């Protein structure tokens, strides 16, 4: 996990300073803000098939290209705006992923108009309380769980795109729904303290699924890093 002199960190972040900084400051901190969650949903969807450091390097580009993740502004993007974004080297130039951001902004606005929120929907799968699985080694971390399966179905049912279960699991890790820092990581106890109680009260959108065993019966991360495709 480290060389004996540096802070103990999760293995997935040791590839670059950018990843270490993100790990130390943001990853796993419980997040309930609508725009912040929309940003994480966008970045996790963009990351599919790519290294996470690529997405982090393009994060500022995404914020500029997508109006600081203001869903009301993004929802008005037309075909010509999408065409320009597909040619923009500051983001991932994948038409399906770009179009999904616009579609997801519209889905988010529709959800809010119906009286719901992205935060309530996402946090409903853990009952508003972060999971504390206590993983010791990266091989223990699943690539998907019963909760991420439920979240993928909920998001898709509400019109969101690029929201497969492994993407949802990465979102849950990033947004603090599950504290997937290794127990030996210097951030594990800090993040656990942030999520020691109920983070938010959520309506009964879906019954919180039973947690699958952490050492058997769940799909493991193919990279063995403790982070989905990181």
Side-chain-facing half-sphere of 224: CA atoms under 13 Å: 1
Catalytic residue from among 19, 31, 39, 44:
44
Catalytic residue from among 27, 52, 62, 135:
52
Catalytic residue from among 12, 19, 22, 31:
22
Task: Count other Cβ atoms within 10 Å, centred on residue 63.
Answer: 15
Let me know if 44 is a catalytic residue: yes
Angle at 141 between CA 60 and CA 18, to 5 degrees: 25
Catalytic residue set = 22, 44, 52
């Amino acid at each position: 996990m480290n060389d004996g002199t540096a802070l103990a960190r999760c293995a997935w972040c040791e590839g670059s300073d950018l990843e270490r900084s993100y790990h130390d400051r943001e990853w796993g901190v419980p997040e309930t803000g609508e725009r912040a969650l929309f940003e994480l949903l966008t970045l996790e969807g963009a990351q599919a098939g790519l290294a996470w450091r690529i997405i982090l390097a393009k994060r500022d580009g995404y914020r500029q290209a997508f109006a600081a993740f203001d869903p009301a502004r993004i929802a008005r993007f037309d075909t010509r705006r999408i065409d320009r974004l597909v040619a923009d080297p500051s983001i991932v130039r994948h038409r399906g992923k770009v179009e999904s951001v616009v579609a997801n902004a519209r889905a988010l606005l529709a959800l809010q108009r119906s009286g719901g929120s992205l935060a309530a929907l996402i946090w409903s799968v853990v009952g508003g309380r972060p999971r504390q699985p206590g993983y010791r080694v990266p091989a223990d971390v699943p690539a998907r769980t019963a909760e991420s399966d439920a979240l993928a179905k909920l998001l898709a049912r509400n019109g969101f795109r690029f929201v497969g279960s492994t993407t949802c699991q990465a979102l849950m890790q990033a947004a603090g729904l599950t504290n997937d820092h290794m127990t030996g990581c210097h951030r594990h106890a800090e993040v656990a303290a942030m999520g020691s109680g109920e983070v938010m009260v959520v309506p009964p959108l879906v019954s919180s699924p039973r947690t699958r065993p952490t050492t058997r019966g769940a799909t493991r991360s193919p990279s063995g890093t403790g982070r989905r495709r990181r």
